[in-house]
A and B are shown apart, each in its own frame.
Chain A
Amino acid sequence: MPKELESGSHESPDDPASTAQTLELLCHLDNGAHGNVACVVWEPMGDGKKVISLADSHILLWDLQASSSQAVLASSAALEGRGQLRFTAGRWSPHHNCTQVATASDTTLRGWDTRSMSQIYCIENAHGQLVRDLDFNPNKQYYLASCGDDCKVKFWDTRNVTEPVKTLEEHSHWVWSVRYNHSHDQLVLTGSSDSRVILSNMVSISSEPFGHLVDDDDVSDPEEHHAEKSKEPLQDNVIATYEEHEDSVYAVDWASADPWLFASLSYDGRLVINRVPRALKYHILL
């Protein structure tokens, strides 16, 4: 996430300035009218001219003109409903020509069409408590992961919002962050305030076709894996639980360069970088 934009939000402290290179303020998102910004996201594809920011109960679409240092508020929408609704997280879908954004507010997940700024789907009570984070499957349309204070990670198909496709309940406290691996979307990373990071293998709902995996197995090991091959693709399991952190883990993410590398950050400032276990890596690759 570009730091220039972070500087625009009230939440971010101004400590990054002390690093080696000084940062230059390119653009200012003037959102004084809408209160606290919970989240700012770039359009994942395209020329990087569009940014969505979530401020309290408003979703704002900004247009950054490359030439000027001005951000223009292209369009906005507001949440309606009783009580004080506030966005907690948002993600831009990489599919459908980047026209969809999903947001979380309280226990509800909503999908928005950025062209009309109108709601396209809504998952009421997606989690028992507050939804903390969400992520789109980068390789499989309509698939979405969310996590929240009920210690659960849920996987949704946005075409059928009545039931989650899958639910994971491995953490013992709020789950703060969930991330799909960019290229192998069966790998899902979650970070929680029980100070654990969990790497799960969600083969059954990934874009990776089952048959492909089996075929590869067969080629490499034609005589051995006959018994295994029928059930192996269906096994969703926890690959590893990382307990290096001493305090709540608030952010996890995958490296953008190396698909087998990921980092997690906890409250006490500890940044842990881990690798996907070698055996699993070869298993996926071969």
Chain B
Amino acid sequence: MAAAAAVGPGPGDSPEGPEADAPGRRRKTHGMLKLYYGLSEGEAAGYSAGPDSLDPTDLNGAHFDPEVYLDKLRRECPLAQLMDSETDMVRQIRALDSDMQTLVYENYNKFISATDTIRKMKNDFRKMEDEMDRLATNMAVITNFSARISATLQDRHERITKLAGVHALLRKLQFLFELPSRLTKCVELGAYGQAVRYQGRARAVLQQYQHLPSFRAIQDDCQVITARLAQQLRQRFREGCSGAPEQAECVELLLALGEPAEELCEEFLAHARGRLEEELRSLETDLGPSPPAPDVLEFTDRGGNGFVGGLCQVAATYQELFAAQGPAGAEKLAAFARELGGRYFVLVERRLAQEQGGSDNSLLVRALDRFHRRLQAPGALLAAAGLSELATEIVERVARERLSHHLQGLRAAFLSCLTDVRQALAAPRLAGKEGPSLAELLANVASSILSPIKASLASVHLFTAKEVSFSNKPYFRGEFCSQGVREGLIVGFIRSMCQTAQSFCDSPGEKGGATPPALLLLLSRLCLDYETATISYILTLTDEQFLVQDQSPVTPVSTLCAEARETARRLLTHYVKVQGLVISQMLRKSVETRDWLSTLEPRNVRAVMKRVVEDTTAIDVQVGLLYEEGVRKAQSSDSSKRTFSVYSSSRQQSRYAPSYTPSAPMDTNLLSNIQKLFSERIDVFSPVEFNKVSVLTGIIKISLKTLLECVRLRTFGRFGLQQVQVDCHFLQLYLWRFVADEELVHLLLDEVVASAALRCPDPVPMEPSVVEVICERG
């Protein structure tokens, strides 16, 4: 008892525990009880688990060994402590004993009551078993009875079933016998659907029993009525006044009556054709030759709703009705759709062609969008007919035509703009007041070209807007953007602009009358501006607006720029030629019309020379408005004086001097040839650069060369020579400032004077000082 008390004082200890003496077995029992009471093993272990459950000296541990414990106590503890622990242990044992007694008492009552309950249950079960036995016997009796009843009712039931079958048959027969009259009634009432249903129900039976004379009669009657029915249906169908759904119904009924599908299908299509053709006719009358036709949007709307809607309906009905026809039927439908669709397209194209002249793209694009969108539905339904592709083609064609229309518009704008400029250039002379300056005109021209370009781009851009149904077609994503808009419209326009400008160079008006020189200058500057900035700007704008996805090669900006530059260069060169010619003509007239042999001693610079200088100054101002100054060779501050002294005193003298003697010409030629060996050859009509100095140099070169050639054709008297000397000095004084290399002017003027001296039988040059005085006075 003491051992048991020492081992298991846990609160979960059941009263059954104490009998067990071996610790292992007791533990096992413990575990089972705990299981029984629903405590988990871990929880159970938790109660006894100390810090070291294997310690044999732990009083509460599972592996407690009394001997080891006692040994330990005896060895470790002093006597007093031993005594203490002994009393302590005795006290504990007592407490445990009393606890156990209380537990036993408390639980005793529960045992008693449990035993009672079990006993009572035993009694109750016995009673229940008896009742169950009784129930089983009763059930057996019931089964027996029921078997007997069903046996007796068996043949009556069979008879009833038979009777019911007969009844149904009789009803069917009655239906059959009544069928002709019913059908007639239905036909009279117009309830064709009902009639066809009846007929359908009876047909198989009649077919089966047609060998019986009575059925045969019914069948014959039915056939007659059915034929009439079919005829009526056909009549209705042919009349065609009824709408499409009713017709579809008719066809459906006829099909149910077993009419040949092929024929029906033909007729159906023929009717549909009639209706659709009517739509087309009404569209055609809309189209008409008269201009106040409804606008294009309305037109395509009506076409879409009337014709395309009708076509869709026909196609849908057809596919529903004649699905059994197979590919042949589908082919027939496709051919039908193709033909009518083709005619519709012809009408639409005619209408769209009328629209080509218009300037408003948005309406057209919307109309095209509707048109295209409408045709997407039947396109899906009638893939074989290819209507959708055709529609796309039409849209593409229209888009192309719009592009060319825009191109023409741009060209026209450019030309009218040129006309305006011409007028503006001509106006100041007439009105005598200050017109707009060249720079302003240039800005006007540039803006009045650029704004139509932008407008065209914007208006063409509508074709590729996202909400437009055809904008995702490959054509509009690729070719339209790159080849159409970029190449065709923009590059095409720039090219044609360059060509138009160049045509001014080639025009027969080489005498300068046809094209005002200022216009040439203006166009040249315009082309140069295009080369430097505008072209790349426009193309960038285009590329941004029309994200070119196409990989096809496009004209690079550099090529266009080169073309524009070439045009600018040609225009400017032509300008130089024209202006040079004007001054040349003046000089030539002045030389050719004068009698140089009998002229008086020069007192003045001739008026022509002053005019030449004035004109050159005017040209200088004109060019200066549009072109930059340019570079000239370095020159001294008082260029005219210095070079004049050289040219008039040393060189000139040395050239004139020998000509007094008879053997002169050889020496003169030798001298001048030696001089020329050291001077560069002058290309008179050479290309010019884009600056003011180069332009002026070109003009002056041309003029002076002409003067030289003209002088060589004349014969001069002494005073004639002196007059030339004076004139040349005057030109020298004023022209050097315009040219890139003043040496050029000196050279040419020297040449003129030298040539005049050679053409003079009595060459006595004027004193340089006198020349200077005359020039300064004039």
Minimum Cβ distance to chain B for residue A27 (Å) = 25
Contact check, A174 vs B510: say whether CB atoms are below 8 A apart. Answer: no
Contact check, B709 vs A248: say whether CB atoms are below 8 A apart. Answer: yes
Which residues in A have their C-beta under 8 angstroms from that of B47? none
Task: Specify the chain A residue showing the minimal Cβ separation from B761.
Answer: A13
How far is B684's CA from A195's CA once the two chains are assembled, in angstroms?
11
Contact check, A193 vs B677: say whether CB atoms are below 8 A apart. Answer: no
Known contacts A150-B510, A193-B705; A246/B712 CB under 8 A: no
Point out the residue from B685, B686, B712 that lies within 8 Å of A267, measured CB to CB: B712
How far is B657's CA from A225's CA once the two chains are assembled, in angstroms?
62
How far is B191's CA from A154's CA once the two chains are assembled, in angstroms?
97
Q: Per-residue 0/1 for B654-693: is the Cβ within 8 Å of any A Cβ (1 yes, 0 no)?
A: 0000000000010001001100110001011110000000
* Interface-centre pick from B508, B677, B681 (highest chain A CB count, 10 A): B681
Minimum Cβ distance to chain A for residue B676 (Å) = 4
Which residues in A have their C-beta under 8 angstroms from that of B676? 246-247, 268
Task: Specify the chain B residue showing the minimal Cβ separation from A150.
Answer: B510
Task: Specify the chain A residue showing the minimal Cβ separation from B686.
Answer: A172
Contact check, B672 vs A172: say whether CB atoms are below 8 A apart. Answer: no
Point out the residue from B665, B672, B677, B685 that lies within 8 Å of A151, measured CB to CB: B685
Minimum Cβ distance to chain A for residue B688 (Å) = 13
Which residues in B have their C-beta under 8 angstroms from that of A151? 685
Which residues in B have their C-beta under 8 angstroms from that of A243? 681
Which residues in A have their C-beta under 8 angstroms from that of B510? 128-129, 150
Task: Specify the chain B residue showing the minimal Cβ separation from A196.
Answer: B681
Contact check, B665 vs A128: say whether CB atoms are below 8 A apart. Answer: no
Point out the residue from B581, B677, B705 that lies within 8 Å of A246, measured CB to CB: B677
Which residues in B have their C-beta under 8 angstroms from that of A69? none
Contact check, B665 vs A194: say whether CB atoms are below 8 A apart. Answer: no
Point out the residue from A128, A129, A248, A268 that lies within 8 Å of B673, measured CB to CB: A268
Contact check, A125 vs B686: say whether CB atoms are below 8 A apart. Answer: no
Known contacts A128-B510, A269-B665; A172/B673 CB under 8 A: no
Q: Per-residue 0/1 for B2-38: is the Cβ within 8 Å of any A Cβ (1 yes, 0 no)?
A: 0000000000000000000000000000000000000
How far is B135's CA from A22's CA once the two chains are assembled, in angstroms?
181
Minimum Cβ distance to chain B for residue A83 (Å) = 11
Task: Specify the chain A residue showing the minimal Cβ separation from B509.
Answer: A128
Q: A140 interface residue, CB < 8 Å from B?
A: no
How far is B672's CA from A246's CA once the two chains are assembled, in angstroms?
9
How far is B673's CA from A267's CA once the two chains are assembled, in angstroms?
11
Task: Specify the chain A residue showing the minimal Cβ separation from B674.
Answer: A246
Interface size on A, residues (CB 8 A): 19
How far is B508's CA from A30's CA once the two chains are assembled, in angstroms?
41
Contact check, B709 vs A194: say whether CB atoms are below 8 A apart. Answer: no
Q: A173 interface residue, CB < 8 Å from B?
A: yes
Contact check, B669 vs A173: say whether CB atoms are below 8 A apart. Answer: no
Known contacts A128-B511, A150-B510, A269-B669; A172/B684 CB under 8 A: yes
Minimum Cβ distance to chain B for residue A263 (Å) = 18
Interface residues of B in 108-165 (CB under 8 A from A): none
Minimum Cβ distance to chain B for residue A38 (Å) = 11
Which residues in B have their C-beta under 8 angstroms from that of A267? 712, 755
Minimum Cβ distance to chain A for residue B79 (Å) = 141
Which residues in A have their C-beta under 8 angstroms from that of B709? 174, 193, 248
Which residues in B have their C-beta under 8 angstroms from that of A246? 673, 676-677
Interface residues of A in 259-286 (CB under 8 A from B): 267-270
Minimum Cβ distance to chain A for residue B573 (Å) = 12
Minimum Cβ distance to chain A for residue B511 (Å) = 7
Minimum Cβ distance to chain A for residue B754 (Å) = 10
Interface residues of B in 625-677 (CB under 8 A from A): 665, 669, 672-673, 676-677
Which residues in A have their C-beta under 8 angstroms from that of B685? 151, 172-173
How far is B705's CA from A150's CA once the two chains are assembled, in angstroms?
13
Task: Specify the chain A residue showing the minimal Cβ separation from B672.
Answer: A268
How far is B712's CA from A193's CA once the two chains are assembled, in angstroms?
11
Task: Specify the chain A residue showing the minimal Cβ separation from B508.
Answer: A125
How far is B709's CA from A173's CA once the two chains are assembled, in angstroms?
10
Point out the residue from B681, B686, B712 that lies within 8 Å of A195, measured CB to CB: B681
* Interface-centre pick from B684, B686, B755 (highest chain A CB count, 10 A): B684
Q: Per-residue 0/1 for A196-214: is the Cβ within 8 Å of any B Cβ (1 yes, 0 no)?
A: 0000000000000000000
How far is B685's CA from A268's CA once the two chains are assembled, in angstroms?
22
Minimum Cβ distance to chain A for residue B153 (Å) = 119
Minimum Cβ distance to chain B for residue A284 (Å) = 31
Which residues in A have their C-beta under 8 angstroms from that of B511? 128-129
How far is B677's CA from A193's CA once the two chains are assembled, in angstroms?
17
Which residues in A have their C-beta under 8 angstroms from that of B581? 129
How far is B747's CA from A246's CA once the two chains are assembled, in angstroms?
14
How far is B511's CA from A125's CA once the two chains are assembled, in angstroms?
10
Task: Specify the chain A residue showing the minimal Cβ separation from B585.
Answer: A129
Which residues in B have their C-beta under 8 angstroms from that of A172? 683-686
How far is B581's CA from A150's CA once the two chains are assembled, in angstroms?
10
Task: Specify the chain B residue showing the minimal Cβ separation from A243.
Answer: B681
Interface residues of A in 70-95 (CB under 8 A from B): none
Task: Specify the chain B residue showing the minimal Cβ separation from A269.
Answer: B669
Minimum Cβ distance to chain A for residue B677 (Å) = 7
Task: Specify the chain A residue showing the minimal Cβ separation from B592.
Answer: A86
Which residues in B have their C-beta under 8 angstroms from that of A174? 709
Minimum Cβ distance to chain A for residue B374 (Å) = 56
Which residues in A have their C-beta under 8 angstroms from that of B665? 269
Q: Per-residue 0/1 for A92-121: is the Cβ within 8 Å of any B Cβ (1 yes, 0 no)?
A: 000000000000000000000000000000
Task: Specify the chain B residue showing the minimal Cβ separation from A246.
Answer: B676
Minimum Cβ distance to chain B for residue A85 (Å) = 13
Which residues in A have their C-beta under 8 angstroms from that of B755? 267
Which residues in B have their C-beta under 8 angstroms from that of A173? 684-685, 705
How far is B712's CA from A173's CA once the two chains are assembled, in angstroms?
15
Which residues in A have their C-beta under 8 angstroms from that of B669? 268-269
How far is B712's CA from A243's CA once the two chains are assembled, in angstroms?
21
How far is B672's CA from A129's CA once the two chains are assembled, in angstroms?
30
Minimum Cβ distance to chain A for residue B213 (Å) = 100
Minimum Cβ distance to chain A for residue B556 (Å) = 30
Contact check, A194 vs B683: say whether CB atoms are below 8 A apart. Answer: yes
How far is B672's CA from A172's CA once the two chains are assembled, in angstroms?
22
Task: Specify the chain B residue showing the minimal Cβ separation from A125.
Answer: B508
How far is B712's CA from A148's CA once the two chains are assembled, in angstroms?
17
Interface residues of B in 477-530 (CB under 8 A from A): 508, 510-511
Which residues in A have their C-beta under 8 angstroms from that of B673? 246, 268, 270
Interface residues of B in 301-346 (CB under 8 A from A): none
Which residues in B have their C-beta under 8 angstroms from that of A125? 508
Interface residues of A in 147-192 (CB under 8 A from B): 150-151, 172-174
How far is B510's CA from A156's CA once the two chains are assembled, in angstroms?
19
Minimum Cβ distance to chain B for residue A175 (Å) = 12
How far is B459's CA from A58's CA once the two chains are assembled, in angstroms?
66
Minimum Cβ distance to chain B for residue A93 (Å) = 27
Q: Per-residue 0/1 for A122-147: is the Cβ within 8 Å of any B Cβ (1 yes, 0 no)?
A: 00010011000000000000000000
How far is B673's CA from A173's CA once the two chains are assembled, in angstroms?
20
Minimum Cβ distance to chain B for residue A8 (Å) = 17
Minimum Cβ distance to chain A for residue B203 (Å) = 86
Interface residues of B in 571-600 (CB under 8 A from A): 581
Which residues in B have their C-beta under 8 angstroms from that of A248? 709, 712
How far is B685's CA from A31's CA once the two chains are assembled, in angstroms?
39
Minimum Cβ distance to chain A for residue B506 (Å) = 11
Which residues in B have their C-beta under 8 angstroms from that of A195? 681
Which residues in B have their C-beta under 8 angstroms from that of A150? 510
Minimum Cβ distance to chain B for residue A198 (Å) = 14
For the complex of A and B, 6 pairs with smallest distance between CB atoms:
A128-B510, A246-B676, A173-B684, A172-B685, A268-B669, A172-B683
A-B contacts, 20 of them at CB < 8 A, read A128-B508, A128-B511, A129-B510, A150-B510, A151-B685, A172-B683, A172-B685, A173-B685, A173-B705, A174-B709, A194-B683, A194-B684, A246-B676, A247-B672, A248-B712, A267-B755, A268-B673, A268-B676, A269-B669, A270-B673
Binding site for A on B (CB under 8 A): 508, 510-511, 581, 665, 669, 672-673, 676-677, 681, 683-686, 705, 709, 712, 755
* Other 4 A-B pairs with CB < 8 A, given A173-B705, A246-B673, A248-B709: A129-B510, A173-B684, A194-B684, A247-B672
